[in-house]
Chains A and B, each alone.
Chain A
Amino acid sequence: MRVDPSYSSNLVTALDQSQSNEQQLTAELSSGVSITSLSQNPVASGENVLLLNQIQQDDSFTQSSSLVTSQLQVADSTLGSVVSQLTQAVSLATSANNGTMNSSDVQSVGNQISGILDEVQSLANTSYQGQYIFAGGQTSTLPFTTSTATLPATTTYNGDNDVNYLETPDGQKIQLNVPGSQIFSASGTNSVFAALNNLVADYSGGTVNPSQAVSDTQALGTALNYVSQQRVVVDNSITQLTAASDAVTSQQTQLTTAQTNLMQADVATVSTQLSLSETQQTALEDVISQLDSQSNSLFSKLQ
C-alpha cells in the first residue's frame, strides 16, 4: 500500500494544535479563569450571567440596607429623645396638677412644657442628609409648623402619609419610614402636639383648671405611649433589615462560591493538562527533527 509522502505536514498540523492548546491552558493559568470564550462552555457562560446578576443585586441591597439602617437609627434615637422629653412633660404636668403649686410655679411649669414642645417639634423636624425623616414623601418640606395665633396654639403637619419600602432580593418589603402625622399628630387622643399645646395653654395663666389639666395630662400620657408604639415599628424595621442583610450576605457568599467553581480554573487539572500537552509537543518536535535529520528518501542512499 502506498503511503502519503507528505505525512510530515500532518505532524506540523498536530504541533500547531498542541501549541494552541498550550496557549489556551497558559491563559487559563495566568488569568485564573477557565472560560475565556462563550463557546468553551455555553451553558456555564449563560449561568454565569445569572449568578453575577444575583451577586450584584445582593451586593447592591447590602449597601442600600446599610444606608437606610443609619437613617432608621437616627429616627429611632430621635423618637427616644421624644419619649424622654414627653416623660418629663408628663411628670411636670402631674406635679402642677396636684394643687400645691403657686401661680408662678404653675407658669414656670407651663414655660418648661412650652420648652419641651419646642424641643419635640424640633425633633419631629429632624432631617437626615438634608431630608426630613418624619415628612412622609414630602421630605423637602418642613413637616411641623406651629401657629400661636390661637390659644391653645396649633401645630400643623405639612408632610403626607406616604410610606417608603425597601424590597429585598427575595421580594420582602421592609418599611423605611413612619410619617410624622402617624407619630405626632395622630387623630383622637394620640396627638402629641395637641396634648402639649393644650397643657401649655392650661398653665399659661398661672391658674389651673384641675379637671381640664388632668384630662390633658392623661391625653399626653396616651400620646406618649403611642409614640413608643411607633418607635417599635422603627425598631422592627431595623431588626428586619439586619436579618435580611445577613441573609443576603450569606446568600452572596454561597453564590460567589458557586460562581467561582463555575468560572475559575482548577489549577491542578489545568497544570496536569499543560504538562501532558508539553510532553506531547516535545515528542512531536523530536519526531519532526528526527525525520528532518534523516534524509527523507532513498535518493540519499543512491551512489
Chain B
Amino acid sequence: MGTISSAFDLISGALNADQSALSIVANNVANANTPGYTEETPNWQENDPVQINGVQYGDGVTETGATSLRDTVLSARLDQQQQMASASSARLTALDSVQALFTPDSGSSSSTAGDIGNDLTGFFSSFTSLEAEPTNASLREEVLTSASTLAGDISNAAASLNTQRSALDEEASGVTSQVNALTSSIAQLNQQIQSTSPNADAGTLEDQRQEDLSQLSQLIGINQVKTENNGLSVTTTSGQLLVSENSSFQLTSGSVSGVTHFFVGTADITSQLTSGGGELGGYLTARDQDIPSALSSLDQLAYGISASVNQLNNTGTDMDGNTGTAANLLYIFNEPTQVAGSALAMSVTMTDPNQIAAAGAGLGTGDNSNAVAMAKLASESLMQPIATTAFSVSQNLNASSPSATSSLEVYDTLGNSYNAAVTYTNQGGSTWDYSISVPDVLTANTSVSGSVSYRFGTGETVNQGTNLTITGNLAGGGTGTITAPTVTSGEAVGTAGPPSTGYVAALDAQIAAAGITGVSVSNTGGVLTISGATGTAGSVIADPAASANATGTLTFNASGALVSPAANVAGITFSGLSDGASALNLDWNLYSTGSAGNITETAAASLQSGASQTGTAGVTNGPTPTGFFSNFVSTLGATVSGVQAENTAQNASVTQLQTQNNALSEVNLNDEASAMSTLERSYQAASQVFTMLNTIMESALNLGTETTVS
C-alpha cells in the first residue's frame, strides 16, 4: 500500500524532472541562434513500479537527459549537395570573371575597347582600305594601329586570364589550412565522442562534429563513413583518407610546374579534388580546365593570325620595293614558334608602316594584290601548325645521365594536339638510341573475339578525337561501317541502356541508324567495350592504334659531333591518331643546311647536344578568324550558362534539404514556448499536489484537530 510519504517522493521527483526539462527548454532557447545547434528534447522515463502485497504502484517519473533531434542521413545528404553547390558557385564566380573579358559589343559605337571581335574586323578591314590606295601613308599607319589594337587586346585578355588563374591558384592553396583545421577538429571530436558516448547520440559534441563536416563540405568533396563506437571516417570523394577515427591526415600543397598541387602524404590528389566538389573543386576546375581552354582558344587565334599575316607580308613587296628575306624579315607581328603562349606574346614588331607589303612579289609599289590577299585572310581558315609540324627541341646528352627525354607539342591535320616525346638512351660511349613517340589520346585494345575496348581518358569523361570505326553485320546481309560520333567537350562516357546515356547513347544511335545488328556497347569504369554478335569474330573492327614509335641510333665522334645518321631524318610518320586526320609527318633536322652545324661539342668531351629544326605551318579547313572567335564566345557563353543553370538547381536542392533539416533540427521557438507552458502547468500541478499532500500530512499528524502541527 502506498503511503503519503511515498506520494511526497513521487511528486518531488516530478518537480525535479520538470525542472530538468525546463532547463533543456531554456538551453534550446538560449542556443536558438547557435550555428549547428540541434534542438534537444527531454527524455521522460516512468520509474519502475513497486509491488506491495501483490498490488502494483507507480513510482513516478525521472528525466533522463536530452536527445538531439537529428537525422544523420539527411545531414550527410545535405553535406553532399552542399559540396556540389559550392563547387559550381566557385566555378561560376571564376567563369563570370572570364566572360567579363569578352563582353558582347552592342554595335552602338564603331569600336569598343577590348573587343577582340571588332579588333579582328578592324585589322582585316584596314587592308581593305589599303587596297584602294596601297601607297597611302596614313592607311598604312592605320594597318599598324589596328594590328597593335588587336595584338594588345588579345595579349591583355591572355594576361588577364593568367592573372585570374594565379588568383584561383592562391585561393585554392588558401583552402588547405582551413581543411586541416577542420579535419583535426573532427578527429579530436571523434575521440571525445567515442569515449563519452560510444552507443548514443553525443549531443553537443555531435553538433560540433556535424558543423565541422558542413564546413568541410563547403571546402572540398568528402565521403563520411560511420565507424564503431560512434566514430567517423572522412575520405575525399575518391577515397583518400582524411580522418580515421581519432587521427587526421594533413592536406599539404606544393608547386608542381608552377601551379599548386595538393597532397596527402606523398599522394598527389589534385585531380581527385578537382572532380570531387566543394569550393576547392570549383577553383581547380576553373584553374585547370576552363581558363586553360579559353587560353588555348586565344592562343590558336593569335597563332593563326600572326603566322598567316607574317607569312603573306614577308612574301610581298613593301613600299621601299623590298621583299622579306632572312636578314630582313617583313613581319608585322612577332613570329610565334608554337601555339601555346602565342596569345600572351602577341605584339606588333613592325614599326615602319612602309614595310607593309601591299604589293605582290616582284610588282611595283602601287600594286595592291598582296593587300587584297591579306584582307581576304579574314574569310580564310585560321592557320594552324599541322601535318608537317615545326618543332624545336634541344636536349643535352651526357653519358653520365644515360636517359633523357624531351617533349614537344605537335598537331595533326585537324588541329588536335599531341605531346610527342623524344627519348634518348645511352648505349655506351657516344652511341645513343632515340625513340620518338606520339601517344594516341585513346589507347585501344583490339580484342580477338569481335570486341574492342577503349579507355576514354581519365575517369568517366570522353577525350576528344576518337579514331574509332565500327564494322558490323547488316540485318539484310553484308556489313556496314560507321565512324564513331564526334565527342563534345566534357562529354560523359555514359551507361549502357536501355535507355543508354552519354557517349554510349550517341554510339548506339549511330549503330542503329546504320542498320548494324548484334553490336552492343557497354561501359566499365570508363572503359568502353563494343562487342559483336556472339560467335561472329571480326564483326567489330576498330581503327588501328597509333603507329609504333620511330626509333634509331645517333652516334657521335670523340669530339662530340654527330656522325651517324649522316643526314637529316625525314618522313617520320605517325598514323591512326584521330578521326579523319591525315597522318602526322615529322622531319627531324639533325643538321643545319649546308653543314653539320647544330650538333656542337661543349666543355666536357662526353657532352653532346641533341638537335632540332623548324618545319612549316599549314592551313586547315577550320573556321575563319572571326568565325573562330564567334565560336569561342558562344562556347564560353554556353559553358557559363550551363554552370549557372547547374548552380541554380543545386542551390535550390540545398535550400530544400536545408529546409527539411531545419524543420527537424532547428530550435522552433513556438515549440519551446508550448513546451515551457506545458512544463509550467505540470510544475504548478505538482506543486499543488505537494501542497495538498502537505495539508493531508498535517491533518494526519493532528488527527483532524487543528493544533500544534501546522
Contact of B121 among A5, A56, A130 (CB under 8 A): A56
Contact B131 A64 (CB under 8 A): yes
A42 at the interface (CB under 8 A from B): yes
In A30-70, which residues have CB < 8 Å from any B CB?
31-33, 35-53, 55-57, 59-61, 63-65, 67-68
Q: How many residues of A contact B (CB 8 A)?
A: 73
A173 to chain B, nearest CB (A): 9
| Cβ contacts under 8 Å, B672 to chain A | 297, 299
Contact B673 A298 (CB under 8 A): yes
Shortest Cβ distance from A165 into B: residue: B372
B543 at the interface (CB under 8 A from A): no
Interface stretch among B306-314, B323-331, B614-622, B628-636?
A: B628-636
Q: How many residues of B contact A (CB 8 A)?
A: 71
Q: Complex Cα distance A233/B681, Å?
A: 112
| Cβ contacts under 8 Å, B359 to chain A | 137
Contact of B669 among A260, A263, A297 (CB under 8 A): A297
Contact B128 A45 (CB under 8 A): no
| Cβ contacts under 8 Å, A135 to chain B | 364, 366
Known contacts A5-B662, A167-B376, A299-B669; decide if A137 and B121 are in contact (CB<8 Å): no
B560 at the interface (CB under 8 A from A): no
| Cβ contacts under 8 Å, A45 to chain B | 104, 633-634, 637
Known contacts A5-B662, A37-B99, A60-B129; decide if A139 and B366 are in contact (CB<8 Å): yes
B318 to chain A, nearest CB (A): 13
A4 at the interface (CB under 8 A from B): yes
| Cβ contacts under 8 Å, A147 to chain B | none
Interface stretch among B106-114, B383-391, B581-589?
A: B106-114
Q: Complex Cα distance A61/B16, Å?
A: 96
Contact of A53 among B117, B655, B677 (CB under 8 A): B117
Specify the main secondary structure of chain B where it touches its partner. Answer: helix
Known contacts A60-B128, A67-B133, A139-B366; decide if A2 and B668 are in contact (CB<8 Å): yes
Interface stretch among B164-172, B220-228, B424-432, B638-646?
A: B638-646
Known contacts A39-B644, A53-B121; decide if A139 and B659 are in contact (CB<8 Å): no
Contact B135 A140 (CB under 8 A): yes
Contact of B107 among A5, A6, A139, A259 (CB under 8 A): A259
Contact of B364 among A5, A13, A137, A296 (CB under 8 A): A137
A302 at the interface (CB under 8 A from B): yes
| Cβ contacts under 8 Å, A37 to chain B | 96, 99-100, 103-104, 637, 640
Q: Complex Cα distance A37/B644, Å?
A: 12
Known contacts A37-B99, A57-B125; decide if A302 and B676 are in contact (CB<8 Å): yes
- Write 21 A-B pairs (CB below 8 A) sorted by A numbering: A37-B640, A43-B637, A49-B630, A52-B105, A52-B118, A56-B125, A65-B132, A67-B133, A68-B133, A135-B366, A137-B363, A138-B364, A164-B134, A164-B367, A259-B107, A260-B107, A263-B106, A264-B106, A299-B672, A301-B673, A302-B676
Interface residues in chain B, defined as those with a beta carbon under 8 Å from any beta carbon in chain A: 95-96, 99-100, 102-108, 110, 117-118, 120-122, 124-125, 128-129, 131-136, 359, 363-369, 372, 375-376, 378, 626-627, 629-631, 633-638, 640-641, 644, 655, 658-660, 662-664, 666-674, 676-677
Other A-B pairs beyond A4-B659, A5-B662, 8, CB < 8 Å:
A4-B666, A38-B99, A39-B638, A52-B117, A53-B630, A64-B131, A138-B366, A297-B673
